[in-house]
């Protein structure tokens, strides 16, 4: 089982949302999950479906949310950042009940693989 320590050094200040600055990992395996996309009529629908796909990928390797060591989130519209922060504020406490949220790099890009997609999440987990 991986030894995962997620924390925020005092010298870096408080995170701006539901993420941490650092993950320290001792593991025998690393799981890399490609960016997940999902169709949907609005941001929240797509975001929920994306994280459901991430969860399915984790489960396929016998892992869960506690194994996640980093997310990279790609968004098409900077106006959706508050929606993403609100979604994480609502959902991450259910996914990470210990309150230790993995680091997350958020990037706003010109577009994703198809015009219909507005959010994509890539995940790294330790087993």
Tens digit of each residue's pLDDT (9 = 90 or more) over 69-85:
999 999 999 999 999 99
State whether the Cα torsion 77-79-81-86 is positive or negative.
Answer: negative
8 Å CB contact between 17 and 88: yes
8 Å CB contact between 19 and 104: yes
pTM for this predicted structure: 0.95
- Which class is domain 27-126? alpha beta
Tens digit of each residue's pLDDT (9 = 90 or more) over 89-102:
999 999 999 999 99
Tens digit of each residue's pLDDT (9 = 90 or more) over 30-80:
999 999 999 999 999 999 999 999 999 999 999 999 999 999 999 999 999
């Amino acid at each position: 089982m991986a030894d995962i320590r997620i924390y925020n050094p005092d010298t870096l200040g408080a995170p701006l949302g539901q993420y941490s600055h650092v993950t320290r990992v001792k593991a025998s395996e690393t799981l890399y999950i490609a960016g997940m996309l999902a169709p949907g009529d609005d941001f929240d629908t797509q975001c929920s479906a994306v994280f459901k796909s991430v969860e399915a990928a984790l489960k396929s390797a016998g892992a869960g949310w506690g194994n996640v060591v980093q997310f990279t989130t790609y968004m098409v519209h900077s106006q959706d950042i508050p929606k993403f922060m609100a979604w994480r504020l609502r959902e991450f406490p259910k996914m990470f009940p210990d309150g230790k949220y993995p680091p997350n790099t958020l990037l706003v890009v010109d577009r994703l693989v198809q015009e219909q997609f507005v959010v994509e999440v890539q995940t790294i987990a330790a087993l």
